[in-house]
Structure 1
């Protein structure tokens, strides 16, 4: 039989979040003592017990909510109250239960192994993200260039995005070598259920990609979930600075602090209407 902590390890290895429910204070007559634990999966499966009854069901509900919000919580149960009495509990004590959601380390899939992808991969790994890198150029997608990545794949990018093991907690960072490649990657990325999709480029480029998607019959509303231009507005210019802005946005998203973006102001809209200026491909 799998131990409770063994079950946590297995769930995290599968990329699943779980909540650990622990009695941290017990006073009077209670069905379980301090230290009793129950593990709650996102689908409601449990392992272990904090004593059964209506309060355990209530704690289970609070645990599943904590898995959605990512926030721990402390629940208090008075077994003298009407809540317990209605269920026939006669323990007559009080309990405090700490509910701690445990999420797997988020994974960042960096789509493009050029200059921005290179620096983003290293920085993301340094701040605690798991990193996967993919590019269709073997000289760029070289594992020796990405020693902190858990995987480096040489593959056709749209095909990889359509078939890779990508889940709802994964982050997709699209930083390929050109506009056409970005568009192909974006089309494939929009079909996947992920926590985050970010796309590099100016507002002008993003507007043109949206227009192209609409011309091809794609639902332009799907672009609403794309963070574009990617990264916090730090005034970044160099690949290193752009990587900092990207990873800063990933951290803000991970910690629930990423603020919704406002619509472009008139100046931005005017710039978006201008012809796109050529930029050196080396920046990618």
Structure 2
């Protein structure tokens, strides 16, 4: 649901009643993953999507039903062998969708409004909702910001379960994960009592591109397409300009290793070293390979890679640290142009982040069961 926070926040601030359908679980191939949402107001206006079209009509009806009776609905949609074009997922997967009505005075409205408002302004927040459990708890919601107290209620009386759920939700938020928790009815991590869906929203991950070259301009555009907050850094002011990199979020003129040591990175950050010059590369990679980031790649030929690795060994880098380096950067796509190279780098970053193999899906050993594709 937080993926449509920008539009849905206005509905919440206007006091409009609406119902939100959210994908809470996926099995097999499905068009969209957990957290994808569709919202419908009392006039039937729709924003968002849960399936790319194949079950939207049925979900729209469920939202209308939930608005009318004020009760949450949990519905499963899957493939129909008898009629692949009936309501169901023709791609072969199964999705569970939770529909929650948010009326003008609904008890969970505070949680929804807080979560939407926080996500819309780009701050970290998790929205936790009880999917299964005692009737008095199902549909309860908590907004759990990265810092500060949570908002909303689960309807659990003394609040002990809410405190436990908030604690678990904050842990998921810290890693940017969206998924379900199985808890006991007292809030402990013993399955069997409650199923809680936690949706996390964090500011965009960072991509830092070092080296103000033509290839960098293409990579900046690819990074923005993937949803990154992109920074270009180079020590040469004549090349590191807004005119050359109009799509970048930040332009930094500084020695790359010095900038990296002073800026914030996290486990989602991608570092792309395109400087292709030992005086920049070596001190930069010495820092980069010791940081808890998602991806470190460096441009250069295989000969350059071998020489650079030896220089890094000479200054004390371990083999385990060197093994984190993706060099030569990108996947082998036969690329030649800056745009083609940017695609190959972006593809490798996706594969590293998502655990992909990088092999064609048509290959016999492709892990198709783990691939999400449009229906």
Q: Please report how far the alpha carbon of residue 257 of structure 1 lies from its aligned counterpart in structure 2 after TM superposition.
A: 3.0
Q: Please report how far the alpha carbon of residue 132 of structure 1 lies from its aligned counterpart in structure 2 after TM superposition.
A: 0.5
Counterpart residue number, 2:179: 73
The answer to whether the aligner puts 1:48 opposite 2:155 as a matched pair is: no
Q: Please report how far the alpha carbon of residue 107 of structure 1 lies from its aligned counterpart in structure 2 after TM superposition.
A: 1.2
CA contact (8 A) 1:213 1:220 kept: no
RMSD: 3.5
Counterpart residue number, 1:147: 246
Task: Give, in whole Å, the separation in 2 of the partners of 1:179 and 1:243.
Answer: 22
Query: CA 1:157 to 1:69, structure 2 compared with 1: closer, same or farther past 3 Å?
Result: closer
CA contact (8 A) 1:20 1:40 kept: yes
The answer to whether the aligner puts 1:131 opposite 2:230 as a matched pair is: yes
Task: Give, in whole Å, the separation in 1 of the partners of 2:134 and 2:317.
Answer: 60
Q: Please report how far the alpha carbon of residue 235 of structure 1 lies from its aligned counterpart in structure 2 after TM superposition.
A: 2.0
In the alignment, which of 143, 160, 164 is matched to residue 39 of structure 1? 143
Counterpart residue number, 2:126: 19
- Please give the residue correspondences for 1:178-257 in structure 2 after superposition, counting only pairs within 5 Å: 178-254=277-353, 256-257=354-355
Task: Give, in whole Å, the separation in 1 of the partners of 2:187 and 2:285.
Answer: 55
Query: CA 1:156 to 1:59, structure 2 compared with 1: closer, same or farther past 3 Å?
Result: same
Q: 5+ residue gaps in structure 1?
A: 78-82, 88-93, 262-284
Task: Give, in whole Å, the separation in 2 of the partners of 1:59 and 1:235.
Answer: 49
Task: Give, in whole Å, the separation in 2 of the partners of 1:61 and 1:148.
Answer: 38
Q: Please report how far the alpha carbon of residue 61 of structure 1 lies from its aligned counterpart in structure 2 after TM superposition.
A: 6.1
Query: CA 1:224 to 1:42, structure 2 compared with 1: closer, same or farther past 3 Å?
Result: farther
Task: Give, in whole Å, the separation in 2 of the partners of 1:38 and 1:218.
Answer: 45
User: Normalized per residue, which structure has more helix?
Assistant: 1
How many residues align structurally?
242
1:225-251 deviations in Å (ceiling 9; x for gaps): 222221122122222211110111223
CA contact (8 A) 1:44 1:64 kept: no
Query: CA 1:212 to 1:118, structure 2 compared with 1: closer, same or farther past 3 Å?
Result: same
The answer to whether the aligner puts 1:101 opposite 2:200 as a matched pair is: yes
Query: SS of 2:323's equivalent?
Result: helix
Query: SS of 1:145's equivalent?
Result: coil
Q: Please report how far the alpha carbon of residue 62 of structure 1 lies from its aligned counterpart in structure 2 after TM superposition.
A: 5.2
1:58-106 deviations in Å (ceiling 9; x for gaps): 64465356447755334577xxxxx54899xxxxxx8653221223211
Query: CA 1:241 to 1:54, structure 2 compared with 1: closer, same or farther past 3 Å?
Result: same
Counterpart residue number, 1:169: 268
Query: SS of 1:233's equivalent?
Result: coil
Counterpart residue number, 1:115: 214
Query: CA 1:209 to 1:26, structure 2 compared with 1: closer, same or farther past 3 Å?
Result: same
1:123-158 deviations in Å (ceiling 9; x for gaps): 211232111001112222111222221110111222
TM-score, normalised to structure 1's length?
0.70
